[in-house]
Structure 1
Amino acid sequence: MSDNTPLTTSETYELLASDRRRYVLQSLREYRTPMALADLATEVARREYDAPVTEVSSDAIKSVSISLVHIHIPKLADAEVIHYDSDQHLVSLDQQADQIEQYPPSLAVGRG
């Protein structure tokens, strides 16, 4: 989507349909991007399990990391909502991220 065309409502809702993608966006906003992929995966897992990091298993974090790399980061990057530097394994918000903020907080930042 490199032509700076605004996201459609349908595209935005598709991006926000996944709790995991909403947690990615919430984390990047909260921690003032960029975030290392490993840190982002840990933070997303913490939010999913609603538990302190020390109570989230390394297997759970690894599972989140794999899905971020293979599913969620590419989807958000294709829409130019995030940028992923695969050489440095850094994730940051991109030019379309501001469009997501216009949607209800319950969608833009996870449940409730």
Structure 2
Amino acid sequence: MVHQDRTTVSERIDRSCELLRSAYRRRIIYALRRGGPASVGELADVVTAVGLVEDRQRAIASLVHTHLPKLSEAGVIEYEGAEETVSLAESVEELEPLLTVAARQEVDNEHLPFSGGNRRTDAVAGKVPE
């Protein structure tokens, strides 16, 4: 029984690491943790603002066709389609230990300026403290 518990824990860690290996997916989660539910467009603004991609339309396509479906399938976000609001699901708590460490390195040490001063976009990007 102990062996089975270890396997389950190892499998959960492996799945979490695989899910979080993408900077896009980490940024989506950070943004939703800080700013609450957001539109796909707002999340595209986040990944564009932090320099993961330069083109907003390309960011939207990548979110809609790759990253949001993976997070949804994993039960981390609630999302139905491109026009829907994206929000965190309760199961995101399983990722918390890894997210805390990653965010400490990625978000807390950034000093990227945001143009336009859009407080909503800045909060979603994780730049404005709540």
Same fold (TM over 0.5): yes
SS of equivalent residue, structure 2 residue 98: coil
Instruction: Identify which of 44, 48, 53 aligns with 2:47.
Output: 44
* 1:20 aligned to which of 24, 36, 47: 24
- Long gaps (5+) in structure 1: 50-55
Rate the CA distance shift 1:93–1:104 in 2: closer, same or farther, 3 A. closer
Question: 1:103, CA displacement in angstroms?
Answer: 1.4
Distance 2:29 2:100 in 1: 12
Name the CA distance, whole Å, in 1 between partners of 2:66 and 2:82: 18
CA distance in 1, matches of 2:104, 2:83: 26
Q: 1:11 aligns with which of 10, 15, 31?
A: 15
Return the alpha-carbon distance in structure 2 between the equivalents of residues 87 and 76 of structure 1: 14
Q: Which residue in the other structure is 1:79 paired with? A: 74
- Amino acid aligned to 2:29: L
Q: Distance in 2 between matches of 1:87 and 1:15?
A: 20
Matched residue type, 1:39: E
Contact 1:44 1:64 in 2 (8 A): yes
Kindly state the Cα deviation for residue 17 of structure 1 after the two structures are TM-superposed: 0.4
Cα shift at 1:98: 1.0
Cα distance in 2 between the residues matched to 1:43 and 1:13: 22
Q: Distance in 2 between matches of 1:86 and 1:104?
A: 25
Q: Which has the higher strand share?
A: 1
2:47 partner amino acid? V
Structure 2: give runs of 5+ residues left out of the alignment.
1-7, 110-130
Instruction: Spell out structure 1 runs of 4+ moving beyond 6 A.
Output: none
Larger-gyration structure (1/2)? 2
Structure having the larger proportion of residues in helix: 2
Overall identity of the aligned pairs, in %: 31
> Are 1:103 and 2:98 counterparts?
yes
Output the TM-score relative to the length of structure 2. Answer: 0.65
